[in-house]
Amino acid sequence: MKYTITSFFAGLIFGFGLLISGMANPEKVLGFLDIAGAWDPSLALVMVGAIAVGVVAFAIARRRHLSFLGFDMRLPKADEITTRLLVGSMLFGAGWGLAGFCPGPGLVALGAGETKAVVFVAAMVAGMALFQLLERRHAAVSA
């Protein structure tokens, strides 16, 4: 129960941060991505701040075996660049550039009543379902 409550409040704070920073506003995001036009660099500051917090958090997390709540620490172990990673990154970037949303801000915008977010989230869920279907088929063929 402690984990669920903490996760809820962490997600709530993250969502408010996305709203305040403008990351849930597709026009702001597309303005940031339009480096050849009317470029809006303000989201770069948000990203630099997020990277700085992440670097410190991961440095602390790597030295711990338990989280602050007493749960096992499970950090990603993969450190190689694979074809799957590159293709997934390109798909993510293309979707971000076309829609102006990535998954977290898309869900926040959906919760805030943004009409465009309905289409984005539906496409995101369809993409996740397609990925799961392909993964299951690949596992069945490999077995």
pLDDT at 77: 82
- What are all long-range contacts of 118-123, with beta carbons under 8 Å and residues at least 24 apart? 123/95, 123/99
Q: Which residues contact 44 (CB under 8 A, 6 or more apart)?
A: 32
pLDDT at 20: 86
The model's pLDDT over 29-69, given as tens digits with 9 standing for 90+, comes to: 888 888 888 888 888 888 899 899 999 998 998 899 888 88
pLDDT at 25: 85
Q: Residue 7 above 90 pLDDT?
A: no
pLDDT at 130: 92
**Do residues 31 and 40 touch, judged by C-beta distance below 8 A?**
yes
pLDDT at 48: 92
Mean pLDDT of 80-95: 90
Mean model confidence pLDDT for the chain: 88
**Do residues 129 and 137 touch, judged by C-beta distance below 8 A?**
no
Mean pLDDT of 11-21: 87
pLDDT at 114: 86
